[in-house]
Amino acid sequence: MDLVKIGKYIAEKRKAMGLTQRQVAEKIGMSDKSVSKWERGICLPDVSVYSPLCEILGISLNEFLAGEDIGQDELQQKSEDNLLQVTTDGKRRQKTLRRIIGSLIAVTVGLVLFLATQLYNTHAPQNYIEPVDQDSTEMKTAQLLAGVDGAFLYKYKVAKSFQQLTIYVTTYQKGEPVSKDEVMQVGTGTDSPEDGMIAIIPDFDRFQVRLIAAGQGFKMSTELPILDGVKNREYCLRSASGIAERGKLLCNTEQPLVALLYGENSIEATAIQAYETGEGIPANDFAYYFSFMIEK
């Protein structure tokens, strides 16, 4: 994210509201020095401050992260861009931190680090998929952007280029599959990125799910209807299960992402592996099982 642009935007909106830095700081329980740092683009506030700060300035979270006013026709595009940006920024910070730590360790325990790295490279999976850490700033920001139904964000990495990424959704009623559809296909060719992100964002108020797949040089998104034609669907209970930890990514093999569960009177939750194997699937009124496959 462009900290300088966001800082200027904060200052512009604060002045438009007729507020001083001290007044803004008092309203959110911070110091005016903190507000000054934000406006100078030195740093961003803690994610816990985003919502109250936006309320004080009369702006949306998407406008805050973009550092500019957003028209209604640009809202979804900016929301997706912000979502991808906060995740990308998190990756950059992790890489920078790893470089710093690696340098410090190398000075004192270079030999130990070398041996540990060799052992890790021997046993660690070269291809993997993992959820974005729930406690990370990136995930907390993504949850704010997504709204009350949250977001499921997954990072993947492959050791070599791949030809195609395909995402499927299988619809279940009373625990039985009734349809399976290919909802997204990204042909990357021989120059595909080694890593990327998949986001699944349920929006119960609009009865749809937003699906985003992105990597270096490509981004694709689509919206899928849920509970279409279901009577009294606004009263349905809802839950979800998804990948809980890093796992090996198997090329040319369909693998699970998320199962979104809905029930008129009750919901029985289960691990995502039930939908992967087809065994022990609970008889919920409705379920949408998202899976993916990377083809070489």
Residue 1 tokens read as 């994210």
Burial 51-80 (b: 16+ CB within 10 A, else e): eebbebbebbbbbbbbbbebeeeeeeebbb
Q: φ and ψ at 32, to 5 degrees?
A: -65, -20
Question: Lowest-pLDDT range, 94-108, 154-168, 177-191?
Answer: 94-108
Q: Where are the domains of the chain?
A: 3-70, 75-124, 137-295
The three-class DSSP label of residue 146 is helix
* Range 268-276, long-range pairs (CB < 8 A, 24+ positions): 269/239, 269/241, 270/241, 271/241, 271/244, 272/241, 272/242, 272/243, 272/244, 275/170
Confidence of residue 149 (pLDDT cuts 50, 70, 90): confident
pLDDT at res. 19: 93
Confidence of residue 163 (pLDDT cuts 50, 70, 90): confident
Full-model pTM: 0.74
The string of pLDDT tens digits covering residues 262-272 is 999 999 999 99
The string of pLDDT tens digits covering residues 250-263 is 889 999 999 999 99
CATH code for the domain defined by 3-70? 1.10.260.40
Between 143 and 154, the more confident residue is 154
Say whether pLDDT at 172 is over 90.
Answer: yes
- Mean of per-residue pLDDT scores for the chain: 82
Confidence of residue 189 (pLDDT cuts 50, 70, 90): low
Mean pLDDT on 189-205: 77
Torsion of CA 195, 271, 275, 282, to 10 degrees: -160
